[in-house]
Structures are given as structure tokens and as C-alpha cells.
A and B are shown apart, each in its own frame.
Chain A
Amino acid sequence: MEKVGDYDELVNLKATELRLGLPGTEEETVPCGKSNKRALPDDTEKEIESTGKTETASPPKAQIVGWPPVRSYRKNSIQTKKNESEGQGNYVKVSMDGAPYLRKIDLTVYKKYPELMKSLENMFKFSVGEYSEREGYKGSDFVPTYEDKDGDWMLVGDVPWEMFVSSCKRLRIMKGSEVKGLGCGV
């Protein structure tokens, strides 16, 4: 067992691995989300059970919904702290309606909303309106939204910062006619 570990360190395959993505980021595993399917492919299950194979199935790369059985409250606590402490960062994609390509930002670099807003404004050269809990963002054609863990599109700024960071999967700066639907105090 030890030998294998040493070999890995020696060769350091990971460092020379070719993949897409910013240097220093790890590929995130794909959450199963609302998928109705069982997490493990049926073949793997049958293999193990019918032949009693000696080698264990390689751990599924996809996260299984609700597994391991740890309360979401606890999961969120640990996850947020891991991101913070390991400096791994929590990179999310940012898209802006009309822009030719997307950007990525590290949410853990910011401590609150105004910092994030300023950074986005600088990155995409726009300005966001004034935020109020009742009416959302007023005074601008641009509205920052984000996709949360449940797959819903939410207005940035409603929930406490920490909750936002832990549930934000990607950002989208909406613009133009779609914006009329949001932030109108309805």
C-alpha cells in the first residue's frame, strides 16, 4: 500500500494532467440534483451482488442524493469551511446577457455583497441599481441573479451572505426586457 502512495508522489501525475480549467481549481463532482434515477448504474450493482467479486467497485464520481446520511445543516457547515480553509475557492461561472463569453469568479474572496457587486461591475462594465428588500434592484437595466442548489434562479442579495455563498452555483446578470419581471416590488 505504501509503495503505491510513494510512486504517485514521485511521478506526480496530477501536476502534469491535461484538463480544461483554471490552474489551481479542482474539477467539481456533478451533483445528481433532482434526477429520478438511482445513483449507481444497475450493472455495477449486479456485478457485485451476483458474482461476489473480490475487487470493490470504484467509488462513483457523481454525488448520490442524500448520501452519506449527514444532515444538510452539517454538510453545509463543513463544506463552507473547507472551501474557506483550503483556499480552494468557490469558483462560479458568471454570464452576462449579450456578452460573448463567460467569466469565473471566486466567491470566497468576498466577504459581503457590495464587494461582489463592485467586482462584477468592473468585470463586465455595467452598473447595478440600488438594492432594497422590497423591490430588488432599481435604477438599472441590469439585475444580478444566481442559480441556487435547487436549480432555481434567485435575486442576488436577499439571503445572508454566507447562505448565498454556500448555495450559489452560478451567476447570471440579466438585462433588458426580462428584467422588468424582477424587482418591481410585485
Chain B
Amino acid sequence: MNYFPDEVIEHVFDFIASHRDRNSISLVCKSWHKIERFSRKQVFIGNCYAINPERLIGRFPCLKSLTLKGKPHFADFNLVPYEWGGFVLPWIEALARSRVGLEELRLKRMVVTDESLELLSRSFANFKSLVLVSCEGFTTDGLASIAANCRHLRELDLQENEIDDHRGQWLNCFPDSCTTLTSLNFACLKGETNVAALERLVARSPNLKSLKLNRAVPLEALARLMSCAPQLLDLGVGSYENEPDPESFTKLMAAIKKCTSLRSLSGFLEVAPLCLPAFYPICQNLISLNLSYAAEIQGNHLIKLIQLCKRLQRLWILDSIGDKGLVVVADTCKELQELRVFPSDIHGEEDNNAAVTEVGLVAISAGCPKLHSILYFCKQMTNAALITVARNCPNFIRFRLCILEPHKPDHITSQSLDEGFGAIVQACKGLRRLSVSGLLNDQVFLYIGMYAEQLEMLSIAFAGDTDKGMLYVLNGCKKLRKLEIRDSPFGNAALLADVHKYETMRSLWMSSCEVTLGGCKRLAQNSPRLNVEIINENENNRMERNEEDEREKVDKLYLYRTVVGTRKDAPPYVRIL
């Protein structure tokens, strides 16, 4: 059926990067499937238990880049016990055994050990890029192996991992011959850093474009580092808590001014506000700014900085910026595409000193026409505001609103927020990700089922009245891939209504809902291609009872489609039905 030789078709396929498109291509005919298989370089696996390494390698023997995700999303919030799973070692072992020419490994929410890192560093001669996001289980010893053994390392990017810092000399382990680094991010390391080794490393890395430091790198070192690397595009500053002496400050300013390529700024893990003006000269070039860890900086200092960032496309900030600050953002950042406002007062201990409200959200929606992604933590919201936001911004792709107090209604009308969220899904026809919060009845889910046609991921907490709510979503959202629900009154009727639906999705999470053991068992019985996992941490309670009570509510349910059946590495308190 092919009118062109395979090499030509393969060449055409090379232009198609999206893995979804490549998946579609491989379904066209046998010949295309084969050509696509052998030419696939990058593979994305959204759930590491949906498939196993052997089958992966069997199908894509020439792969060079692998992305793996492990634990379910709610693991980020401590809802998944540590040893649940998501171990990367078997993958690395299999890839090594099969002599795959791995060059890039990107992991999210996986358990990575020093042993895995050591094996990784020794098994792939051309290994170039390691990106770990929200992973755990390793120490700086593992990083030392990577540094020492990966001769062509370009990228080492550690984002928000829990790393045991052994205060070793991992930075020293980069050999003098290593000059290929383009990206180095160790912001999440909590221990001391050998600054001298770091400076030498940066000095011999002319291609370094992204550098993100940890807390332990002080102001003076920052100035020297930036002087060595004026070509930086992306900088994460460490800490400088004391007000700098004039000389250090001048040096810092001079170094910063030279970094004319700088487009992205983050870090500020510990910052004295008086240091911020050193960055004013480059603000006009910034397209990305992450100040969400800068807990000490007051709103007015933030505002002064942001007022200069007219080209900003991405802003992550704390709610200490206040509604006033968001109005400034709305006036200044006309190119803004993504905004995340995190809570600075996580436990609701303080009174509303400078938190953000619906006012800030409305201002942003009115002022930033290009806004398509938002994550917004706030203490109060109204339907009127959401309706206005929907009207102002029909282009949302991601809309995540988290009202800190569960079940909180519209603070003016005291009604539920069904209408507000309804307006959002109705207006935003391209919405792919949605998180809802506040007081919500089944009605909001009716709206979501009716209007959210492109919705792929939905997060629900403390919402809904009856099974109907969940059913509206399952029946309505045809493109739904991930559904995660906590503390909502959905039970077996909703869970079991359409078992085949789950095979069209990546996963379903339900915790502290009304589903029972009996319901889960029935679900598992009819679904060979689903793994139905029950996580019950109160293992003791269960064993004391002689009989299993099928009416017992399940603590946490996690189910996902898979082609490789039950996994063998689950801990004792995870029961796979």
C-alpha cells in the first residue's frame, strides 16, 4: 500500500513529534505500524503499571527517550503511602539488559533509589538527560554516580524531589572533562553545596542555559556564577537572607545586567526584599517568573518587581500579593498565559491579612486576554465572579480553583457554586483540566457532563450530593482520562454503572467516598483489563475481623487500565482485587 520507500515514510514521520499523533499513525496499517515502531525515539508512559518494560522495549527497540509517571496525582498530597509503588529500578534494569540506547529519562512521582541511579549512569554510554519531578528514595550519592559516570550529560533537572542530602561532594564528581551541561537544577537539595566546585563547573560549561541553585548558595556566589554564565536563559536563585553590603549588591547588579538573555527567573527561597531591585534591569525581558517560594517578601515588594515585567507569560506567586497585586499584574502583564497563586497561609491560622479573593481573579481575567491556564488558591469565591471570568476568558485550557475551606458557599449569596463553575465549562470549550471546590451539588456535574467536551482531567473534593453527580461526569465527558475524587458521597451505583468507561481512561481515584469493598470486588470481577487497588492503611483492623464485610467502605480506591495484569510489587496494605 505504500507508494514510497520505507525510508521516505520514516522521514515524514520524523516531523510528527506528538506521541498521540504517532500512536494514531501506528494504527493506520501494518506497514505503518512497523515503520513507526522502529522509528519511534520518544515514548511517554502515563502510568508505569499500564505496561511493563519488556513489552515496551519489544515494541520500540530504538527508543532514546522515556517518560514515566508512577504514583497517582493525589500522592502529592500525602494520600498515597510511601511504599505504594512506582519503582523505576525494574525499568532501568530491563533497558540496560536489552542494550537500549537510552539518552533521556523523565520521571514523575516515582521511587528512585541510589542503586537505580548508579545503574543508569553505568548502562547507557550516550545518556544525556535526567529529569526527576516529585520523586523520592534517593540521596546525593545517587547524584554523584550520575555526575561521575555520564560523560555526555547535558541535563540534570531535579524538581521538588525529596532527596536525602548526605552533604557529600556530588558536585565535585563531575569530571573536569565534563563541559556539555546545558541545564542544572538542584534547587530542592536541602544541604550545603560546595560552592567552589559549582563555580568551576559553571565556568567550564559554555552551553549552560539553565541553572537553578539551592538555598545554600549565597549572594556573593550568585554574582560570581552569573558573571561566568552571562548566556543563561533560566536562573533559579538561592538564598540571600541578609541585606547585602553595598559592594556585594553592586557586584550582583553588574553581573545581572550582563545576563541579557535571561528569560526565566525562579527560586528566591530565602530573600531579603532589598535584594530584589538588583533584578530590576532584566525584568523587561522575563517571560517566566516564579516567586512562589518567597514567603518573606511582602506584597508591595512583589508589586514593584512585577510592574517591570511587561512581557511575562508565566507567573507563579504567593497569595501574599493580594488582590491589589493581582490588579497590577492585570494592568502590566498583557502577555500572561499561565498564572498560579499559591496559599501562604496553609492552615488557615491567620486572619485575612493579604490573601486573594474573587476580586483578584476577575481582574486578571479582564486584563489578560491570553490567559489559558490558572491555578488559584483563595479563601472565598462567588458565582458572579466566576460567571464574569468565564465571559472574559473563554480560552481556558486549565482551570483549577481551590477554595481553602471545604464546602464553602458563595460568600455573598450563600448559595452553592454550581452556577459559577457551570459558566466556566460552558464558555471554555477547549477546557482540558478542571479542579472544582467550594460548596457544590450534583448540578455542577450535570453541567460538566453536558459542556466539558474536551475535558481530560477532573479533580473533585468535598463535592456532590448523590451518585448522580459522578454519573453525569462519566456519561458526559467522552474524553475523560483521569478522574480523582476525595471526600464526596459517590458510591457503588456510580462506580459500577459503566465499567467499560474505565478502559477508555488512564485511571480513577476515589478516597473517603461511599464505595464499598463489595462494589469494588464486583467491578474487578468483570474487568480483566483493569487493576483495582484498595489501599487500606488500617491493616490491623481488617485482620481482626473474621469475615470480610463487603459493606465496609473502602478507604482509597485506585483503578487503572493495564495490558499486563496485576503488578507484583505492591506492599501488603494494597489489595489488588
Q: How far does the Cβ of B516 sit from chain A's closest Cβ, in whole Å? A: 14
- A34 to B82 alpha-carbon distance, docked (Å): 13
**B408 in contact with A56 (CB, 8 Å):** yes
| Cα distance, A70 to B407, chains bound together (Å) | 18
Q: C-beta contact mask, B412-433 vs A, less than 8 Å → 1, else 0?
A: 0011100000000000000000
- Surface stretch bound by B, among A75-83, A121-129, A136-144, A172-180: A75-83
The verdict on B15 contacting chain A, using a C-beta distance below 8 Å, is: no
Nearest chain-B residue to A40 (Cβ)?
A: B406
B295→A67 contact, CB < 8 A: no
Chain B 392-404 near chain A by CB (<8 Å), digits 1 or 0: 0000000000101
Contact A79 B346 (CB under 8 A): yes
Q: Is the CB of B407 within 8 A of A48?
A: yes
| Residue total for A at the interface (Cβ-Cβ under 8 A) | 41
Q: Which residues 34-53 of A have a CB within 8 angstroms of B? A: 34, 36, 38-40, 44-45, 48-49, 52-53
Question: CA–CA, A67 to B190, complex, Å?
Answer: 24
**CB-CB nearest in chain B for A79:** B346
- Chain A residues in 8 Å Cβ range of B161: 73
Decide yes or no: A39 and B487 within 8 Å by CB, A57-B407, A71-B134, A72-B77 being known contacts: yes
User: Which of B292, B348, B441 neighbours the largest number of chain A CB atoms within 10 Å of its CB?
Assistant: B348
0/1 per residue, B160-177, Cβ < 8 Å to A? 111011010000000000
Report the nearest B residue to A36, measured CB to CB: B538
> CA of A29 to CA of B345 in the docked complex: distance in angstroms?
14
User: Residue A66 at the B interface, CB < 8 A?
Assistant: yes
Docked pose: A59 CA to B292 CA in angstroms:
25
Q: How far is the CA of A36 from the CA of B76 in the complex (A)?
A: 18
Most buried by B among A29, A64, A85: A64
- The yes or no answer to A163 lying at the interface (CB within 8 A) is yes
**Which B residues are CB-close (under 8 A) to A64?**
406
A40-B512 Cα distance, complex, nearest whole Å:
11
Q: Within 8 Å of chain B (Cβ to Cβ): is A106? A: no
Contact of B486 among A48, A66, A74 (CB under 8 A): A66
- Is B86 an interface position by the 8 A CB rule? no
B555 touches A (CB below 8 Å): yes
Does chain B have a CB within 8 A of A54?
yes
Contacts of A26 in B (CB 8 A): 349
Alpha-carbon gap, A70 to B77, bound state (A): 6
B537 adjacent to chain A (CB < 8 Å): yes
Assembly CA distance A4 to B472 (angstroms) = 43
Is A109 in contact with chain B by the CB < 8 A criterion? no
Q: Which residue of B lies closest to A8 (CB)?
A: B351
Q: In the assembled complex, how far is the CB of residue B111 from the closest CB belonging to chain A, in whole angstroms?
A: 15
Please tell me if the beta carbons of B343 and A72 are within 8 angstroms of each other in the complex: no
Give chain B's interface residue range (CB within 8 Å of chain A): 35 or more
**Residue from A36, A54, A66 within 8 A of B79 (CB atoms):** A66
Residue of A nearest to B513 (CB): A38
On whether the beta carbons of A66 and B77 are closer than 8 Å, the reply is yes
Interface of chain B residues 409 through 466 with chain A (CB within 8 A): 409, 411, 414-416, 435, 439, 441, 459, 461-462, 465
A54 to B411, CA, bound (A): 9
Taking CB atoms, residues of chain B closer than 8 Å to A67 are: 77, 406, 461
Q: Assess whether A163 is in contact with B190, with CB atoms less than 8 Å apart.
A: yes
Q: Is B137 at the interface (CB under 8 A from chain A)?
A: no
- Check B255 for interface membership: any CB of A closer than 8 A: no
Q: Are B295 and A71 in contact (CB under 8 A)?
A: no
Contacts of B167 in A (CB 8 A): 160
Q: Which residues of B contact A39 (CB under 8 A)?
A: 406, 487
Q: Are A72 and B405 in contact, CB atoms less than 8 angstroms apart?
A: no
Residues of A near B295 (CB, < 8 A) are 77-78, 81-82, 85
Whether A36 touches B160, Cβ cut-off 8 Å, given contacts A56-B408, A65-B79, A81-B295, is no
A114 interfacial by beta-carbon distance below 8 Å: no
Question: In the complex, which residue of chain A has the Cβ closest to the Cβ of B375?
Answer: A69
A12 to chain B, nearest CB (A): 14
Contact indicator B191/A75 (Cβ below 8 Å)? no
In angstroms, Cα B11 to Cα A28, docked, is: 63
Cβ-defined contact, A70 with B342, below 8 A: yes
Asked if A159 and B164 make an inter-chain contact with CB atoms under 8 angstroms apart, the answer reads yes
Q: B190, A72: Cβ atoms under 8 Å?
A: no
Instruction: Determine if B346 and A70 form an interchain contact, defined as CB atoms under 8 angstroms apart.
Output: yes
**Is A68 on the interface with B (CB-CB < 8 A)?**
yes
Chain B residues with CB below 8 A from A38, complex form = 487, 512
A–B complex contacts, Cβ < 8 Å, 10 sampled: A29-B347, A40-B487, A49-B465, A52-B416, A56-B407, A68-B402, A71-B160, A72-B78, A74-B342, A77-B295
> Can you add 17 more A-B contacts, CB < 8 Å, to A78-B293, A162-B190?
A29-B349, A34-B537, A36-B555, A40-B407, A40-B487, A49-B407, A56-B407, A56-B411, A67-B77, A67-B406, A68-B346, A69-B459, A71-B76, A71-B160, A79-B346, A85-B295, A159-B164
Residues of A that sit less than 8 Å from B by CB = 26, 29, 34, 36, 38-40, 44-45, 48-49, 52-57, 59, 63-75, 77-79, 81-82, 85, 159-160, 162-163
9 shortest A-B CB distances, which residue pairs?
A66-B77, A73-B160, A54-B414, A66-B79, A71-B76, A81-B295, A38-B512, A160-B165, A162-B190
